[in-house]
Structures are given as C-alpha cells and as structure tokens.
Structure 1
C-alpha cells in the first residue's frame, strides 16, 4: 500500500505554486513585450504624390453633419497614418498613437475631433477641421 512521506503534500503544493507563478510571469512578460513591440513603428518617408493624394482625399470629405464629418476625418487620418507606418492603425486609440512616439502632433488633432464626433452637441467648424488635417499632412 502506498503511503506518502509526511510533508509530501506541502512539497507538491509548493512545487505547483512555483510552476503557476512561472507560467503567470511568462504570460505577463510576453504580453508586455508584445505590447511594447507592437507600439514600435518605423515611418516611411513621404513622397510628394502620396502627400497630394492624401490632401485631396481629406479635402473631398463631405458629410451630412458634424458628427459624421469628424468620424470620417478621424478614420481617414488613421488610414493615412497606417499607410505611412505600413500597418493597420485603424483600431489604435489616441493613447496608443501617442505611446508610439511617432504621431504626437496628430494626436492633438484626433483628440480635437472626438468631442464633435461623440459629444451630444458640437460647436466645431467643419472647414477648420479639414484645414487643420490638410495642414498636418502638408507638414510631413
């Protein structure tokens, strides 16, 4: 008949906790590493034809109301940033873009569009919003 040594349960429990802690540490490290790596972006140089195409796209945006206009501007600007970065940035928040360190000037612009896009009442100027987007792209 099998009879475990006294204290074998404590050893087994301790070993299990050590293995669990190691697994949790690895998962946490991997998540943090992947997050940091995911925010690292290399921007491609902007070619004049790209800049002109982007400006034309921004200037052609029309919408029924301010909310729709600012949502379109935000989506279009993220598409432009994604093209420039060579990866999909459509789901990145302003905080993610800011954390990458590459889009700090655009972050202010995107934040200024959040209130008109999602607020109950907007006092934003549509022409001013488009002009600021064009100025931003022109500065690249």
Structure 2
C-alpha cells in the first residue's frame, strides 16, 4: 500500500468499476490469445523458411522473412500492451466501503487485543519480581543515542 493508490467506492460504484474491469480482462485475455496465435504463425513460417532454404527459392525466402519481421513487430506491440496492462493493474487497489469498514474493524480489534496481551505480559513479569530487595533502574538507549 505504500507505493500504490487506494480507492474506496460505495458498493454500487464498486460494482460498476469491477464490471468495467471484467470487460478489460476479456480484452486482456484476447491479447494473450493473440500472442499465442502469432507465435504459432511465426513457427509455421519458420518451418516454411527452412524448406525454402533447402529448395534455394530466394523469392519465397525474402517473402517469408518479411512476413516474420512483420509478425515480430506485431508481437512486440501486443506484448508491450500486455506488460503495460499488468503494470497499471497493480498500481491501484479498489475496494467497496463496506469491505473497507469490516477490515478496519478487524484491524481495530486486533490492535485492541494486542494492547491487552501486552499489558497482561507486563503485569505477569512484574508479579514475578520479588517484593523485597534493591533494584537498579536500567535505561534503554534510544536509537539516537546508539549512533
């Protein structure tokens, strides 16, 4: 959360935003399928290219190399779109206000329980000390004093 953004929306707005994301997820899946199709097509043309090299057909060889270059540029463009989508999707976190409130209440409960357990642990340790005797206080150095 430190380097990301948090969007809190009402429940209806969150449903609208997630339905919008579902549309983009379908488009994202289509882009990934296109990458696989392009890779398969490049492999098939590569096989034809090997056959053209064996046959010494220079005209077909040039055509196939041009096709491979065009497909590679198209593949790079699609891959950059996919990378950008993945990078942008991890930038912000969006949650509905009801879920935010429930998580906040859970965090408050955990903090309250932690404080209670800490105070019980201190009380337990203090009870273990003998009542009589002389004790020397010991200072705990702060971080500033350590440097």
Could you state the TM-score of these two structures normalised by the residue count of structure 1? 0.30
Q: Say which structure is richer in strand.
A: 2
Instruction: State which structure, 1 or 2, has the greater radius of gyration over its C-alpha atoms.
Output: 2
Ranked by relative contact order (alpha carbons within 8 Å, sequence separation 6 or more), the top structure is 2
Q: Say which structure is richer in helix.
A: 2
Could you state the TM-score of these two structures normalised by the residue count of structure 2? 0.29
